[in-house]
Amino acid sequence: MNYSFPRNFRWGSAASSTQTEGASFEGGKGESIWDHWYKEQPNRFHNDVSSTDASTFYNNYKADIQLMKDIGHNSFRTSISWSRLIPDGAGEVNQEAVDFYNNVINELISKNIEPFICLYHFDMPLAMQNIGGFENREVLDAYAHFAEVCFKLFGDRVKNWFTFNEPIVPVEGGYLYDFHYPNVVDFKRAATVAYHTVLAHAKAVDKYRTMNCDGQIGIILNLTPSYPRSQNPADLKASNVCDLLFNRSFLDPCVKGEYPQELIELLAQHEQMPIVEPGDCELIAKGKIDVLGVNYYQPRRVKARENAVHPDAPFMPEHFFDYYEMPGRKMNPHRGWEIYEKGVYDILTNLRENYGNLPCYISENGMGVEGEEKFLVDGQIQDDYRINFIRGHLEWLHQGIEEGSACFGYHLWTFIDNWSWANAYKNRYGFYQLDLKTQKRSVKKSGEWYAQVSQNNGF
């Protein structure tokens, strides 16, 4: 074996409630923004497929957990749907949801699969969005209450909690780039939602601490490194702004308990600062995490802007940079994303050198493939490209650990091909192929390979 991993290394995969459960209108679940947006604009979803058609985990969790076991999972991350547990977001707890999540958690534990539970994966209850979502501070309290309910109900068995998955994405999707509901395009409102999400996170961490829970709590961030085209100061400035806006806007407050001064100055200079109320800074300082989940798919490459911004254009992050296509970059042609395995090592090194080397794991990494049926041979998807992708990233992850990074696990996105927001079933990521008509799950070559890697704790 060339790459052997530390003892107790966590091998598994990640998914989320909305993307796997299905049964969106069953079991007493309330509507989320996804149920609502689909009703309003089904055409915004790839092939008009809604999350109600997600892969039936709600009814099928037992068999699915056995499939996890079959490919060597010792850990699995999913999320608790806020609108399933508390249908109105802030009212009564739904007992059918309590039973369902208890069953899932107990089933995982009985199979020696450690549950990693996230509290928010893009799925705002509609009732909460109707009063402004994370623009409204009342919703932060409702979220903190939801978190407290989860800690009380499941904290005796769940020891790894995550407040948010990729909190920058609902900011980008919902308030900047129009790929999530409520489809607003407004930088200042986006900045407010991002800021309030940090406050909501801190409120949940604070609850966790005051309840004296026996476990660890963190957040999952998509820490896309921002690489400049060159070392020219203008290119460096462009990449630094990206890092501030997209990475450090969450990483710094969650790990260090405070915002980078440079980010505050940037927003103030452009009149985009959210309203800071008395007590906010003290609250943010209480949101420091024990553990960080890192999602990494592709690098962000940028350069200085080549043209002036149009005077009537809405103020956007792209005010500060242009995207850069590096000649000779390696691509995943099936998703149109660059593959840059060393990115994982660069993230770990940054966390080690600048963020106190806090315990972390790779909470998502993966390769989406559109039209993956074309790789079917004798009934099995021969996804050697995915095996190479995972191997390449694990090699760099291993290098990071050798140099002292506190990385304790690797989760692939995802377990079974799943429904992915507006992209629905366009890009397939799973260890298991899903037949959309029959819901049949079939292990891909990568799933079998991963079982070996997990069993040998390396490759």
Positions in the binding site for ligand BGP (CB under 6 A): 16, 19, 165-166, 222, 295, 364, 368, 413, 420-421, 423, 427
Q: Which is nearer to ligand BGP, 16 or 239 (by Cβ)? A: 16
Vertex 247, ends 243 and 252: CA angle to 5°?
A: 110
Residue nearest to ligand BGP (CB): 420
Q: Which is nearer to ligand BGP, 167 or 228 (by Cβ)? A: 167
> To which H or E segment does residue 412 belong?
strand 407-413
Residue 64: which residues within 8 A CB-CB, separation 6 or more? Answer: 57, 415, 416, 441
Cβ 17 to ligand BGP shortest distance, Å: 11
Cβ 296 to ligand BGP shortest distance, Å: 10
Q: What is the DSSP string of 220-256?
A: EEE---EEESSSSHHHHHHHHHHIIIIIIHHHHHHHH
One-letter amino acid of 54: A
Q: Which is nearer to ligand BGP, 135 or 364 (by Cβ)? A: 364
Q: 220, 118 in Cβ contact below 8 A?
A: yes
Cβ 429 to ligand BGP shortest distance, Å: 6
Cβ 223 to ligand BGP shortest distance, Å: 12
* Burial class, 436, CB count within 10 angstroms (exposed 0-12 / middle 13-18 / buried 19+): middle
Q: Which is nearer to ligand BGP, 297 or 459 (by Cβ)? A: 297
DSSP letter (8 states) at residue 7: T
Cβ 442 to ligand BGP shortest distance, Å: 20
Q: Which residues pair with 433 in a beta bridge?
A: 442
HEC sequence for 332-375: ECCCCEECCCHHHHHHHHHHHHHCCCCCEEEEECCCCEECHHHH
**Residue 166 annotated as catalytic:** yes
Six-digit token pair at 313? 């254009």
**Residue 338 annotated as catalytic:** no
Q: Which of 21, 166, 341, 372 is catalytic?
A: 166
Q: Which is nearer to ligand BGP, 163 or 295 (by Cβ)? A: 295
Give the other-Cβ count within 10 Å of 281's Cβ: 13
Name the residues annotated as catalytic.
Answer: 166, 364
